[in-house]
Structure 1
Amino acid sequence: MPKIAEIEDTPNPNALKFTLREQLTWGITRSYDNAEQAKDDALAAALFNIEHVTNVFYVDRWLTVTQDGGADWKELARKVAEPIRAAPAADAQAAVTVAAASSAYADLSSADQQRFDKISTLLDEQIRPYLQNDGGDLHVLGLDGNQLSVHYQGACGTCPSSLSGTLSAIENLVRSIEPDIEIVAV
């Protein structure tokens, strides 16, 4: 049972980040925007059974819950803490390294795969740690010519600054290695 070590506010006023003492996963991200998506995940399904929960995002030792803005966080945090505490810790024997490339990248040419790898490394080093610290993340959906499609996860998914300032900062950073790139959030 993962015990909650800390509960933190995020830049998104509708999201809270729960830092845990035990792993929920071993590097595998779980992100759900509704109860239907979460139906096969016991923890996420239990969280969506709580009124006002609109998004569940977790990986390793932290979990972010987003609400619709209609609940008091003190009361809601107590409610969501129950299924978090009841969730089983990840089995160390089940640690998996995700090595398979996503189908979104499977059709890339060798040159585009190299471009994509450089962009991913840059995002891994310069962007994701900050987004994860704030209870969110960024998933790259694909590279098509000079357009990189990304999807914000967790607290970043509904944060007003993610679609303005953060997206602009990401685009400026990636343009340092790909001057003609356009970043599109979907």
Structure 2
Amino acid sequence: MATRAGVIQFSTANLLRSSAISSPSVLIPRSFNKKLAIRAMGSSASSSQRPEPVQDAEKANFTSLSEEEWKKRLTDQQYYVTRQKGTERAFTGEYWNTKTPGIYHCICCDTPLFESKTKFDSGTGWPSYYQPIGNNVKSKLDMSIIFMPRTEVLCAVCDAHLGHVFDDGPPPTEKRYCINR
């Protein structure tokens, strides 16, 4: 990650996008490099301006995409994690230890998922948050490991696999949304 003139530029493909927030104003890059699948967008740091949950009408645009269309939009790693429920190795992703303020978005559909102020160091090696934005993250029972049922978290708009949620997080929610990348 490189910083130039107040703009955060991400140089590796990740499954979350970050909207960088700085004070009092932010440069907003307009270009988007498909190979990187990452862009930094500016927004106000005002506490009264909260990200809006994405409308259900927009969901149809993503749930109808074929697997081939997803493969064209995503890198191999992004496809593996978001569409095939894979994971990356702990302590290897760009976002596991970043302290950059902003909003983290779904890499598949750009839905705002987590605010950086809800991020905490869980010691697991994956980015962890105690609360998602609105109803933009949904959950369901994951029985992929028979002896260890877990709760999977997905993007509410495009059904991208994000990771899992556990009941060992900090107050006020006591939740740990452990995000795969």
More helix by share: 1
Higher CA-based Rg: 1
Range of TM-score over shorter length: under 0.3
TM-score, normalized by length of structure 2? 0.27
TM-score, normalized by length of structure 1? 0.26
